[in-house]
Structures are given as C-alpha cells and as structure tokens.
Amino acid sequence: MSPELTTAAVVAPPGTKAPHRRVPRSGGAGGPGRLGTVGMYALLVLVAVPFVFPVFWMFSTGLKTYGDVFESPPVLWPDDPRWGNYLVPFTTGPFLQQFLNSIYIASVTTIGVLAVASLAGYAFARIEFRGRSVLFVMLLSALLIPPEVTIIPLFRIVSAFGWIDTHLALIVPAIFGVPAVLGVFLMRQFFLALPIELEQAGRVDGLGRFGLFARVALPLAKAPLAALAILTFLNSWNDFLEPLVFLRTQELWTVPIALQSFTDPITGIPIWNIQMAATTLSVLPVLAVFFVAQRQFVQGIAGTGIK
C-alpha cells in the first residue's frame, strides 16, 4: 500500500524538486488597504502567541524564585532575575553529564543512520533487484507503527543483548530501526531525482557500483544528508519513551528524562523554576540550530512528516 503513499507524500513536501524559492504562486492576498494590512499583521501576531509565548515563559520562569512562579497576577519578567537558577542543574546533579550523554547518543545515532540510510536509499532508487518495491514497502510500514506497540518486545530484545541501562539500547535500535527507515525514505527521494547521465559518466570512468555510490552520488547528496542529519539528531535528542524504559542510572540519563526529574524528592512536586531553567537550556541549542538551518529542518521534518 505504501509505494503510492510515498508518491502522495511527494506531491506535497519540499523533497527534492526546487522547494527553496518560497514565492507564493497562488492565493496571495493582492493588496488589501493599509487597514487590512495592519489587521493582517495583528492576526499573524495573535496566532503566534500560543506557539511562541510558552518558550518565553519557560525562560522567564527559570529566572524566578520558587515563590514567584505562581504569583498572581503572573509575573512576566521578575524584578530580580535569578540567573543563578540556570547553574543549579549543573551544581546539584549530573545535568552536564546527562547533556553530554544526549549529545553523544544523538551524534552516534546520526552518523549511523546517515550510513545505513544513504546506502539503502541509493539502492532502492538506483539499483534494480528483485523484490525491490516489496522490500521498500515493508520498510516503510515501520513508520506507521507507534513505538508503544513494539516497546515491550523491544525491551526483551534489548535485554537479551545485555543493553538495558546502557546507551547501546538507544543507539543500535535507532541506527537500524525506525529512524533509519525515515532516512531511507528521504534519501531514496533524492537519489530518484539524480540524473542518470552522471552515473553513466562514472561507469565510463571505470567505477563499480560502490564507486558510483560513494564517488558520484553521495557527494551530490549533501543537502538531503544535512536535512536527514538534523532530523535524526533532533529525534534522538527529543526521544522520551525509549530512554525512560531502557535507562535506570541517573548518570546515564538523557536530557528529557533528566528534565522531568527536577522534583522534590519527598513530595514529588516539580521544583518549577529550576526545572524550567533546565528545560530552557535543553531547548536553546535546538532553537539556535533551527534559526540557522531552518530550510534543512523544515525539509527533514516536512519531507517525512514525522515529528
């Protein structure tokens, strides 16, 4: 059922065909008068509030005293910002270690996925072999399956490998599992659009299949590889269910698991201001990269539609 699903998908997302020019060719409001323009911007700003304001609130709550968090009326910006709150996660717990864990896991996963996905994506797009479309559909079906369906047996598999409470439990299933499939899909889209003449020239130069892949096709795939790298890194960085289930030791946790653990050890109530400071710290690098590399973000996420 899914090869067509992909063609349906290709219609919409800015996959490989000239998606960069963001010139609206249709539906643009021609020239509504000045009042209309002001109203339009007011509407645009209003709509932005629920999407952007929480990020500001995260940041400012992180600067408050514990008592100020639930002050009424709400304090937009504390009179006496406690910048020190942003250091507390590092001084009271292994937050730095957890941060490094997340970076390490996401990096290794990304490199692995790029390798697995570009090889397979290339083969599905460029090499003829029996069962090609059946195998491709089979792989794609993985994208439809909620992780909750597979997490219980996956726990058994991971423990059979002896990986419970190790980072391998997060890295290996990601490199070869669903994130890789996502990558296969993205890379195949790109390689399908690559002109065949380039490879014919490579053949004439005496390149074998691996040479064609590594020396001709891959160097041209920097853009989709960048999009895929960002997507994979982001997904790994944001993963919650798997680390929640597979990791026990606090020093081995990833950032999302650490964030939800800034709670009072007795009451279990979050230490809101510190938690928000830590949350802001976890979001900042992602937002920074997003603002710099928006195109790759949007391409990666929209190209697969998976968050």
Binding to other proteins, residues 239-298 (CB under 8 A): 240-241, 244-245, 255-256, 259-260, 270, 272, 275-276, 279, 282-283, 286-287, 290-291, 294, 297-298
CA distance 149 to 98: 27
Q: Which residues contact 194 (CB under 8 A, 6 or more apart)?
A: 125, 126, 217, 220
The nearest distance, CB 228 to other proteins, in angstroms, is 13
The nearest distance, CB 34 to other proteins, in angstroms, is 12
- Binding-site size for other proteins (CB under 8 A) equals 118
Of 40-48, 88-96, 189-197, 217-225, the window that binds other proteins (rule: CB under 8 A) is 40-48
Residue 214 as a binder of other proteins (CB under 8 A): the answer is no
Q: Residues 209, 106: contact at Cβ < 8 Å?
A: no
Joined tokens for residue 149: 């369906």
Is the four-CA dihedral 12, 17, 22, 27 of positive or negative sign?
A: negative
- Pick between residue 94 and residue 147 the one whose CB is nearest to other proteins: 147
Chain residues 98-127 in contact with other proteins, contact rule CB under 8 A: 115-117, 119-120, 122-124, 127
Write the binding mask 12 to 31 for other proteins: x where contact by CB under 8 A, - elsewhere.
Answer: xxx----x--xxxxxxxx--
The nearest distance, CB 124 to other proteins, in angstroms, is 7
Residue with tokens 């973000």: 297
Residue 168 as a binder of other proteins (CB under 8 A): the answer is no
Give whole-number Cα distances, 125 to 12, 48, 269, in Å. 19, 40, 52
Residue in 87, 103, 111, 151 binding other proteins, rule: CB under 8 A: 151
CA distance 120 to 193: 16
User: Which candidate, 53, 67, 56, places its Cα nearest to that of 271?
Assistant: 67
Residue 157 as a binder of other proteins (CB under 8 A): the answer is yes
Chain residues 66-95 in contact with other proteins, contact rule CB under 8 A: 69-74
User: Which candidate, 23, 21, 13, 22, places its Cα nearest to that of 300?
Assistant: 13
